Amino acid sequence: MSAGEENIATPGEILGDSSQFIAGKGTYLAPNGRNIHASLTGQRRLVPPPPDSAEKRLTVEVVGHKTRGAVPEPGVVVIARVTRVMARMASADIMCVESKAVKEKFTGIIRQQDVRATEIDKVDMYQSFRPGDIVKAEVLSLGDARAYYLSTAKNELGVVSAQSIAGATMVPISWTDMQCPSTGQVEKRKVAKVL
Amino acid sequence: MATGTLGTYSPSQSLERRHQQQKRTDFQEVDWARSDGRNFHQCRPAFLRTGAASSASGSAYAEFGSTKVIVSVFGPRESKKAMLYSDVGRLNCHVTYTTFSTPIRGQGFEHKEYSSMLHKALEGAIMLETFPKTTVDIFALVLESGGGDLPVIISCASLAIADAGIMMYDLVSAVSLSCFGKNMVIDPTSEEEACQDGSLMITYMPSRNEVTQFTLTGEWPTARINEAMELCLDACSKLADILRSCLKDNASELTA
């Protein structure tokens, strides 16, 4: 335990000098430009520089043992449940960020022009999503005060799981259709191509 | 003829007031014994634990003598819809006293300003730009108020924030000091605070050598303020070491 204790860094602790290390994740460079301080509680790790760069210094980072709750950031893939579908946008509750569940949901919206990549002006929102669908989307931006902007405009994004009108979980047939296994009815959705 | 004596009377103070005045003159003497046996420049022993509230993102419990505080941190979570968009994260602090925390029930409501003082002490230490648009809620509950409440709340809150994994520039430690005429007493208890002439509280980030909050109240002989500040800063550095070792112990418990 003593070896592990020496490796644990706490916020504000000086990890090294900027002449020997680069500040990585969980660390920051002091305003005087010389010291590198930790900003999280966790294990201190040294990462060697990529072999083909001119950088000789190791990167020091702190891996939090208890990472903070997930927060959506631009560029990450999230799993959301659709709550409302309107003429030009659909509202969804973000439940997972990458593979981590959030403690309390965030609100996101998928606008008409972000549903798919082709023919974006001919999108019918009600034929792409229904309330209760689980969708995989990508965060476009932080959006406005009320919601994050999400996009499903890629092949692997879109509805992952949906319930039919009869109440059974539907099976995807194509990128626009899903079929109910008990009644055989085909419903239109923007389906994700899950490999 | 009845000779009535011309009576005059002189009221005498009640027993309680006489005791209080006796205490005040006691405090003015050069060496009086503190009720818990410490000397003037000795702080109370600290007991700290993280992970006290399992439902919160981060939490900490602190016991400094008879002052007991529990702080829970929630977040970063979505801001209320009514709030405007902000590029940086928001901090929301709330300090409450339980009704049984003071000897007389319900006296804690005099400290409504502690919430905003906690906010000012912490906002300089947290990297708000790492969680834009979201809010971090900090709830401090004082279970027993034994004097020096706000410094204990601040130190415990910074421990809870570190436990929640929110990025900070440094841990914040806080110490208060009371002035009784010529004497300076560090980490006062509630009875010492009631009779003090002046008080000084400093919240300090030791690794960066920066003060986030400096509160000076009451009557101070000017020459002593410098000395008081040095005492407080030294106590803050030592308290920060204790905070760090508490974090390390709890972190190694989790990984072990």
Tens of pLDDT along A84-117? 999 999 999 999 998 888 888 899 999 999 998 8
Separation CA A6–CA B27 (nearest Å): 45
Reply yes or no on whether the pLDDT at A3 is more than 50. no
Q: At residue A4, what are phi and psi to the nearest 5 degrees?
A: -65, -35
Please state, in angstroms and rounded to a whole number, the distance separating the CA atoms of residues A157 and A134.
11
Cα–Cα nearest to B77, from A71, A189, A44: A71
Span B133-152, mean pLDDT? 92
For residues A47 and A83, the model is more confident at A83
* Res. B152 pLDDT band, cuts 50 70 90: very high
**Residue (of A192, A156, A149, A152) closest to A174 by Cα position:** A192
* Min distance A118 CA to chain B CA atoms (Å): 31
Is there a contact between A105 and B165 if contact means CB atoms under 8 Å apart? no
| pLDDT at position B46 over 60 | yes
Chain B nearest-CA residue for A63 = B165
Is the pLDDT at B66 greater than 50? The verdict is yes
> Closest residue of B to A9, CA-based?
B248
Residues B18-22: what's their mean pLDDT?
77
| Contact residues, chain B, for A14 at CB < 8 Å | 207
Backbone phi, then psi, for B177, in 5-degree steps?
-140, 140
State whether residue B117 is helix, strand or coil: helix
| Tens-place pLDDT, residues A12-24 | 988 888 888 888 8
Contact B57 A68 (CB under 8 A): yes
Looking only at the bridges linking them, the beta strands covering B134-144 and B90-97 are parallel
Looking at residue B156, its pLDDT comes to 95
pLDDT (0 to 100) of residue A5: 47
Query: Which of A1, A14, A41 has the CB atom closest to B207's CB atom?
Result: A14
B114-123 pLDDT per residue, tens? 999 999 999 9
Chain B partners of A72 at a C-beta cutoff of 8 Å?
none
- DSSP class per residue in B155-184: HHHHHHHHHTT--BSS--EEEEEEEETTEE
Structure confidence at residue B87 as a pLDDT band (50, 70, 90): confident
Q: Please report, for chain B, how many H helices and E strands are present, in that order.
A: 5, 9
Q: Whole-prediction pTM value?
A: 0.87
- With beta carbons under 8 A apart, name residues in chain B contacting A37: 169-170, 207-208
Beta bridge partners of B91: B136
Comparing C-alpha atoms, which of A3, A121, A9 is closest to residue A63?
A9
* Chain B positions in Cβ-Cβ contact with residue A69 (cut-off 8 Å): 57, 75-77, 164-165
Q: Which residues in chain B touch residue A142, judged by CB atoms under 8 angstroms apart?
A: 85, 132-133
Residue B22 pLDDT = 76
Between CA A13 and CA B169 the distance in angstroms is 9
CB atoms within 10 A of CB B201: 20
Name the most confidently modeled range: A129-138, B15-24, B80-89: A129-138
Chain A residues in contact with B242 by the CB 8 A cut-off are none
Which range among A62-71, A73-82, A169-178, B35-44 shows the weakest confidence by mean pLDDT? A62-71
Assigned token pair, B94: 């709330």
B207, B173 Cβ separation under 8 angstroms: no
> Quick one: what percent of chain A has pLDDT higher than 70?
96
- Give the model's pLDDT for residue A141: 92
For testing contact with chain A, the best of B137, B158, B169 (most A CBs within 10 A): B169
Least confident of A27-31, A35-39, A49-53, A133-137: A49-53
* A-B contacts at Cβ under 8 angstroms: 100
Mean pLDDT, residues A120-127 taken together: 90
Inter-chain CB proximity B78 and A103 less than 8 Å: no
Q: Which of A6-15, A51-60, A73-82, B190-199 has the lowest mean pLDDT?
A: A51-60
ipTM of model: 0.82
- Residue B256: pLDDT band (50, 70, 90) is low
Q: Could you tell me the pLDDT band of residue A83, with boundaries at 50, 70 and 90?
A: very high
Measure in Å the smallest separation between the Cα of A108 and chain B Cα atoms: 11
Q: Torsion angle, CA of B146/B148/B154/B159, rounded to 10 degrees?
A: -60
Q: How far is A67 from chain B (nearest CA, A)?
A: 5
Beta bridge partners of B198: B179, B218
**Average pLDDT of the residues in B190-209:** 90
Place of tokens 């799981």: A161
Amino acid A56: pLDDT: 77
Mean pLDDT (chain B, rounded)? 87
Residues B206, A12: C-beta atoms closer than 8 Å: yes
Q: Residue A39 and residue B169: Cβ atoms within 8 Å?
A: yes
Question: How many Å lie between the alpha carbon of B192 and the closest alpha carbon of chain A?
Answer: 33
CA angle at B63 for the pair B59 and B65, rounded to the nearest 5°: 170
**SS in 3 state form for chain A?**
CHHHHHHEECCCCEEEECCCEEECCCEEECCCCCEEEECCCEEEEEECCCCCCCCCCEEEEEEECCCCCCCCCCCCEEEEEEEEECCCEEEEEEEEECCEEEEEEEEEEEEHHHCCCCCHHHCCHHHCCCCCCEEEEEEEECCCCCCEEEECCCCCCEEEECECCCCCECEECCCCEEECCCCCCEEECCECCCC
To the nearest whole Å, the CA of B220 is away from the closest chain A CA by 33
Instruction: Flag if B134 and A71 touch (Cβ within 8 Å).
Output: yes
CA distances from A165 to A125, A162, A170 (A): 17, 10, 10
CB contact under 8 Å between B251 and A11, yes or no, is: no
Asked if residues A71 and B76 have their Cβ atoms less than 8 Å apart, the reply is: yes
In this predicted structure, the answer to whether residue B255 has a pLDDT above a threshold of 70 is: no
Q: Residue B161 and residue B75: Cα distance in Å, rounded?
A: 10
Alpha-carbon torsion B22, B25, B30, B33, what sign? positive
- pLDDT score at B37: 81
Tokens 């980030």, located at residue: B205
Question: To the nearest whole percent, how much of chain A has pLDDT over 90?
Answer: 49
Closest residue in B to A66 (Cα) is B165
Task: With a cut of 90, say whether residue B235 has pLDDT above it.
Answer: yes
Using the Cβ of B205 and the Cβ atoms of chain A, whether some distance falls under 8 Å is answered with yes
Task: Give the pLDDT band (50/70/90) at residue B69.
Answer: very high
Q: Is the pLDDT score of A159 beyond 50?
A: yes
Answer whether B169 touches A (CB < 8 Å): yes
Give the model's confidence band at A194: pLDDT under 50 very low, under 70 low, under 90 confident, else very high: confident
Residue A42 clears pLDDT 90, i.e. is over it:
no
CA angle B170, B172, B173 (to 5 degrees): 140
B112 contact A CB<8A: no
The residue-averaged pLDDT of B58-79 equals 92
Question: Average pLDDT for residues A63-90, to the nearest whole number?
Answer: 88
Contacts of B172 in chain A (CB under 8 A): none
> Is the predicted pLDDT of residue B2 greater than 70, yes or no?
no
